Each structure stands twice: as C-alpha cells, then as structure tokens.
C-alpha cells in the first residue's frame, strides 16, 4: 500500500509528530511505501535546522532527515505556512524541501491512503 502522510503539528508540543514518525517508520518496515510526507500549519516547524533539543531528548528533525535519507521519502514543507513561521531555504533542515499545496494534492491523488496527524 502507498501512504501519503500529512503532519499538522510542531515538534515537542504535540504527540502528532511522534506518532506520524512512528507510523511512517512502521509502514516502511512492513513493506509499504511512504513516498511523501507533507508538513503543514505548525507541522512546518519539524523542518527547522535551528532546532536544538537537550542531549537526553530525541531530535525530531534529525529523525525525519534520517528517514528521508534511508528510505527515499520526500519531505515537503508548505511554503505559505513556512513563511508565516520564519522558515526559509536558509534555515531548512537537510532532507526537506519547500513547495506548495499542489504537492499535497498530488500526494492525495497518488496515494492509496492519506493519513493526517494533528488538527
């Protein structure tokens, strides 16, 4: 099965981000395809290279980057939501790219299931 995933909540403030990551990882491990993850609303904060959690905490941004590198997952950040939150190409974490809502629509069309995490 081919999954599209949409993340609407930021890291460290809501369980949705952790749940989305664990879902994507589990789906891939079970042999499913996760071709794209779209970050929207506060979810765009998952893409900031400025994130520096304490050493004893999980580094959510790095987890997404590693998932993208290891499994060829397209991490797309909504341009309008990113701009509203001060995220630009200059502070975008490795593995993420900024694009428009057309990428979300395309993901919905091309996926068997679109799974949304967060409000």
Rounded to 5 degrees, φ, ψ at 6 are: -120, 130
Q: pTM to 2 decimals?
A: 0.96
Per-residue confidence (pLDDT) for residue 42, from 0 to 100: 97
Catalytically annotated residue among 60, 78, 93, 98: 78
Residue 78 catalytic?
yes
- Supply the range of the domain harboring residue 21: 2-117
The CATH number of whichever domain residue 100 belongs to comes to 3.40.1260.10
Number of domains in the chain: 1
Contact between residue 64 and residue 95 where contact means Cβ atoms under 8 Å apart: yes
User: Can you give the pLDDT at residue 43?
Assistant: 98
Q: Give percent of the chain above pLDDT 70.
A: 100
pLDDT tens string 46-94: 999 999 999 989 999 999 999 999 999 999 999 999 999 999 999 999 9
Per DSSP, 56 falls in state T
């Amino acid at each position: 099965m081919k999954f599209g995933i949409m993340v609407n909540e930021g890291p460290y403030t809501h369980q949705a981000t952790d749940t989305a990551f664990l879902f994507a990882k589990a789906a891939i491990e079970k042999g499913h395809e996760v071709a794209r993850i779209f970050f929207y609303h506060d979810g765009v904060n998952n893409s900031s290279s400025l994130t520096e959690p304490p050493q004893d905490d999980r580094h959510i941004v790095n987890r997404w980057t590693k998932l993208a590198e290891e499994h060829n997952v397209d991490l797309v950040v909504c341009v309008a939501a990113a701009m509203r939150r001060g995220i630009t190409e200059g502070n975008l974490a490795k593995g993420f790219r900024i694009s428009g809502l057309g990428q979300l629509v395309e993901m919905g069309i091309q996926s068997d299931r679109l799974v949304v995490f967060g409000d």
